[in-house]
Structure 1
Amino acid sequence: MSVFSNPEWIKQYDYPFDTINRVPKSVFDEINVRLDNLISATNPLVSVIVTAYNEEINILRMISTLSCLHTKIPFEIIAINNNSTDRTQETLDNLHIKQFFQPIQGCGPARQLGHEMAAGKYILLADADCLYPPDWLNEMIKELQQPGVVCIYGRYSFIGSPEIPRWRLLVHETLKDIIAEIRHYKRPYLNAYGISMGYLRDLGLKAGYIDNDTRGDDGRLCFDLMQYGRIIQVKSRSARVWTGPRTLLRDGTLWQSLKVRISKEFRRGFSYLTPHPAHDTKNSKN
């Protein structure tokens, strides 16, 4: 794990564009050449589903990382424009991937449409504002193909910047990973985020996503999948996804975010030692 700097491989995706109209055609051409040589047009084993709401530049970076995956596993990419009001659709129109539009707001409805339209036996979820390392797909599918495994989830790191250095973000990551270990014992679904998650498509269709704009659609699906088999945490560093710290900054500064999270986890700590009773994930409150 990088302590004082971001990994070298993410630097090539630091595009200096703030709107899609400033992206040269050559950037799309380079990505599409890689996609054409990598994506399986027929009989994909894996379907990577990406949902996007107002991510016209972020999803360009993200798809570019997927176009550089080191894998021989046949896969497809399915992007769902979840009612974006910016130029996300224009970005998708210029990329050689499958795409659909979901007017019902929410990750649940968007991902539901994605896995209904998927052709792969296995589903991998990805977020539009993340960067995926070259071995991500290989490492995830290696775990998902184990006997009895029905759902997997991976870990993620935060991208540092001159304003927020990597070492400060590493403090959050370390605590996050420790809590994930505790949660996984009885409540693994609390660690299952769409940023890096996978499952068997047939069982995912059977369980289904929530059909409204409620947080936690990914964890709710994972909870429902637990009745069918094992949930695995993918700890491989080469599968670790990288993302910006904007979720941390919702609580203010990094220090404020840390205090909020420590307080929240302290209150919930003992609950992680017991399994959550069966309940209606489609209608329950968070």
Structure 2
Amino acid sequence: MKVDRITLLGSPHKNSCNPLVSVVIPAYNEEQYLSGTLQSVINQDFQNFELIVVNNNSTDKTAEIAENFGANIIFEPRQGVGFARQRGFMEAKGSIIATTDADTILPSNWLSRIVDKFEKDENLVAFGGLYTLYSGPLSARLTFSYFAHPAWALDKFFSGGWGLPGVNFAVRKDAFLKVGGFKTELSIGEDAEISRRLRKTGKVLLDPSFLVKTSGRRYRSGLIVGFMTYLPNGITRILFNKHKFLKLPAIRSERPLLPRLLARFIFVLIIITFSFFYFSHYCPLRAGLKRPNFIINKIKAKQTRMKSS
């Protein structure tokens, strides 16, 4: 039996035929979290938007929950967040597309801040922020609360620009279409990859104070295990500009799961060892490096003393 939408939500959102913003949420078996996410979308102080939930082969009540919230439900049979986001973005009617994950709680001014940023800067093609965890191990929650900004700044330094997280991401649709959309074959890092291409078309901005809250299920087996899950992708992306090395299973629960930590740890060690060996012996930059003059002078002086003696 369907729940009356007006009773459930208090007031319906403006799911008009010509919205300014399209909110796209990919969802695969998200019945545990989706209601909270959709309620936070409905509670936005900016209401000129359409709500799109991309049902990515869910076998639970995901579609039913989305329907009860008045969302436009789009079915995407090809499994993966890249396929799901791409399908939702292509179906979006708004000139601005905002996306988050199905286990995320948005602040009530999320959309209004996004719209304000784009209206004030016509050169801005993509905008986003960071996220904290509302559940999961304490170590993970504290780390994301205090060290997320420095970590993202470090990533910006090595990557040459901001990479926006898909959990808190907005883009002009014309810019999205211009770069060809997401790389749908990626099971992880599709947000960072498209951010790199968007930087070539205009300004990509990340505001560290622009926060959403997401679940800590990705770190349910501990902070270190969680980092080891995603670290290989980050290393290969920064060092080799590659985004497809490992495929990750869908994480739909916060129950601890015995990870394949050893294999990932060995993989990281191999990458670090190879990188050290490469930059120490074969890095092209070494060919253009010259010893500082004071070192050369010391060597010459030593050789002169040896000859005179």
Alpha-carbon distance change, 126 to 30 in structure 1, aligned in 2, over 3 angstroms? farther
Q: What residue number does 1:12 align with?
A: none
Other-structure match for 1:234: 207
Offset, 1:129: 0.6
Q: Distance in 2 between matches of 1:93 and 1:50?
A: 13
How many aligned positions are there? Answer: 243
List alignment gaps of at least 5 residues for structure 2: 247-309
Amino acid of the structure 2 residue aligned with 1:104: R
Paired amino acid for 1:61: G
Offset, 1:186: 5.2
Alignment of 1:27-46 (within 5 A): 28-34=5-11, 36=12, 38-46=13-21
Q: Deviations over 1:222-276 (max 9, x none)?
A: 111111011101223xx41111211122xx2236546x499879x95xx58xxx8
2:222 aligned partner: 253
Structure 1 residue 114: Cα displacement:
0.8
SS of equivalent residue, structure 2 residue 217: coil
TM-score by length of 2: 0.69
Quote the residue 1:93 is aligned against.
67
Q: Structure 2: how far apart are the matches of 1:187 and 1:134?
A: 32
Aligned to 1:52: 27
Residues 1:76 and 2:50 aligned together: yes
Unmatched runs of 5 consecutive residues or more in structure 1: 1-20
Q: Say which is worse superposed, 53-62 or 90-99, in terms of deviation.
A: 90-99
TM-score normalized with structure 1 length: 0.74
Q: Which residue of 2 aligns with 1:64?
A: 39
Report the counterpart of residue 176 of structure 1 in structure 2: 148
**What is the SS of the residue equivalent to 2:69?**
coil
Match of 1:147 in 2: 122
Given residue 39 of structure 1, which amino acid in structure 2 is its aligned partner?
A: K
Distance 1:61 1:143, change over 3 A: same
Change in Cα spacing, 1:46 to 1:263, as seen in structure 2 (3 Å) is: closer
- Which of 167, 190, 212 pairs up with 1:217? 190
Q: Relative to structure 1, is the Cα distance of residues 90 and 257 closer, same or farther in structure 2, using a 3 angstrom cutoff?
A: closer
Q: What are the superposed Cα offsets for residues 80-134 of structure 1, whole Å, 9 maximum, x if unpaired?
A: 0011121212212222121110000111111111111111111111111100010
**Of residues 171, 174, 182 in structure 2, which corresponds to 1:202?**
174
User: In the aligned structure 2, how far is the partner of 1:199 from the partner of 1:244?
Assistant: 23
> If you compute each CA radius of gyration, which structure gives the higher value, 1 or 2?
2
**1:172-208 Cα deviation digits (max 9, x unpaired):** 4322221112222452677422111011101212321
Does the aligned pair in 2 maintain the 1:151–1:225 contact within 8 Å?
Answer: yes
Pairing 1:118–2:92 present: yes
- Any runs of at least 4 consecutive aligned residues in structure 1 with deviations exceeding 4 A, and if so which? 255-258, 260-265
CA contact (8 A) 2:37 2:102 kept: yes
Give 1:99-114 correspondences, 5 Å limit: 99-114=73-88
Give the equivalent residue in structure 2 for 1:8: none
Alpha carbons 1:189, 1:219 under 8 Å: kept: no
Shift of 1:143: 2.4
Q: Cα gap change, 1:189/1:106 in structure 2, threshold over 3 Å: closer, same or farther? A: farther
Q: Which structure has more RCO (C-alpha within 8 Å, separation ≥ 6)?
A: 1
Asked if structure 1 preserves the Cα contact closer than 8 Å seen for 2:22 and 2:97, the reply is yes
Give the whole-Å Cα distance in 1 for the aligned partners of 2:202 and 2:27: 30
Task: State the shift of 1:62 in Å.
Answer: 0.6
Distance of 1:263 and 1:78 partners within structure 2: 31
SS of equivalent to 2:166: coil
Alignment partners' CA distance in 1, 2:229 and 2:81: 23
